[in-house]
Homo-oligomer: A and B are copies of this chain.
Amino acid sequence: MSGNTLGKLFTVTTFGESHGLALGAIVDGCPPGLELTEDDLQRDLDRRKPGTSQHTTQRREADQVKILSGVFEGRTTGTPIGLLIENTDQRSKDYGKIKDQFRPAHADYTYQQKYGVRDYRGGGRSSARETAMRVAAGAIAKKYLREVHGVEIRGYLSQLGPIKAERIEWDIVEQNPFFCPDPDKVAEMEDYMQALRKEGNSIGARINVVASQVPVGLGEPVFDRLDADIAHAMMSINAVKGVEIGAGFDSVTQKGTEHRDEMTPSGFLSNQAGGILGGISTGQDLLVSMALKPTSSLRLPGQGIDVHGESCEVITTGRHDPCVGIRATPIAEAMLAIVLMDHLLRHRGQNAGVESLTPVLPG
């Protein structure tokens, strides 16, 4: 399949450039009978939306999603769900320099090399704006998983540059512009971002996502393991440079006695595995963490080259997120939901009627 489709039984295909007419998606394979309205999607879109705080890009997009098909009388019909967001903030502006320059650490250079042509307006297809459609599609999966299986998918920013969240209060996450779960760190993050903006620089971040009440048995070894598909989905988000499941890179220095999650009749005693063994969900919480690089759209000049191969100094003005990680939490949740949804359907297809012969451990 071509590169803009995700999933095998529950599939999401997207299109759209940053400064084109619209973004769109086709969500195929959604089971029939799910109550669904545009509001269900809008809630997560609004969480991702730029311009909601001073810490994110001031580009203003309504990100108003329309459901064009696949829903009838308030319920999904099993036919493909067409989604559309029209781009409203397409300022006509002079793209002269961007057109002729390859900005360092942007996709300008690689798109040009791959395709021999590129839509340079606002990054074109490589813009993070594309992730709006992931969020919309993911909201469908989240709703289905929640309603049918009680699965809860939640994310948070666990680290903003040097500042780590040290405890998780879920109530706090949605009450600050960073999705930070640690109430004691919000002010510190505010200050850090102020300074950063003044400096004209950007910073990386770490996002964690947790899925609870995940059915046991999801994932298809040996290649379509649940963890492998999660890693794929997360690494496909703009700016993500690393993905961990459970103990992640801490496993490198762990001994077997430390890493192995012992089991008792009342459940697992720990969750180093992050909810996946042998590529299949255990029923414990899924624990996923990812690193997002700092954006390279900086006011501070950097060395680039131009389309003639000449050296040039690149300064990016305009409206950019100094920390792309801040808005990534809803995106990461959406990706996890899409992967789980796909695996749920695949599992049901191939294993319908399997009676677990053994007691299911508490999650």
Known A72-B117, A231-B232; judge A33-B354 contact (CB<8 A).
yes
A78 within 8 A of B: yes
A8 touches B13 (CB 8 A): no
Closest to A72 in B: B119
Most B CB contacts (10 A, CB to CB) among A221, A348, A359 go to A221
Number of A residues whose C-beta is below 8 Å from B?
167
Known A255-B203, A350-B9; judge A78-B4 contact (CB<8 A).
no
Closest to A12 in B: B223
List chain B residues, Cβ under 8 A from A32: 115-117, 351, 354
B119 touches A265 (CB 8 A): no
The CA-CA distance from A4 to B273 in the complex, in Å, is 22
A257 touches B77 (CB 8 A): no
The CA-CA distance from A305 to B262 in the complex, in Å, is 9
A187 within 8 A of B: no
Tell me, rounded to whole Å, the shortest Cβ–Cβ distance linking A254 to chain B: 5
Known A235-B231, A309-B358, A345-B349; judge A69-B256 contact (CB<8 A).
no
Known A241-B247, A252-B292, A295-B256; judge A303-B269 contact (CB<8 A).
yes
CB within 8 A of A351: which of B115, B159, B259, B309?
B115
Tell me, rounded to whole Å, the shortest Cβ–Cβ distance linking A21 to chain B: 5
A172 within 8 A of B: no
List chain B residues, Cβ under 8 A from A109: 263, 277, 282, 358, 361
A29 touches B350 (CB 8 A): yes
List chain B residues, Cβ under 8 A from A311: 264-265
A262 touches B9 (CB 8 A): no
A168 within 8 A of B: no
**Which chain A residues (205-238) contact chain B, with CB distance < 8 Å?**
205-206, 216-225, 227-236, 238
Stretch at the interface among A50-58, A98-106, A173-181: A98-106
**Which chain A residues (5-54) contact chain B, with CB distance < 8 Å?**
5-11, 13-17, 20-24, 26, 28-33
List chain B residues, Cβ under 8 A from A142: none
Most B CB contacts (10 A, CB to CB) among A17, A79, A253, A261 go to A79
List chain B residues, Cβ under 8 A from A356: 112-113, 116
Known A106-B278, A280-B111; judge A4-B26 contact (CB<8 A).
yes
A236 touches B217 (CB 8 A): no
What are 24 A-B pairs at a CB distance below 8 A?
A2-B11, A4-B222, A5-B13, A9-B350, A15-B79, A17-B72, A17-B79, A77-B124, A78-B351, A106-B277, A107-B277, A110-B279, A201-B256, A204-B252, A223-B233, A225-B235, A227-B240, A228-B231, A241-B246, A252-B291, A256-B295, A262-B302, A272-B293, A308-B358
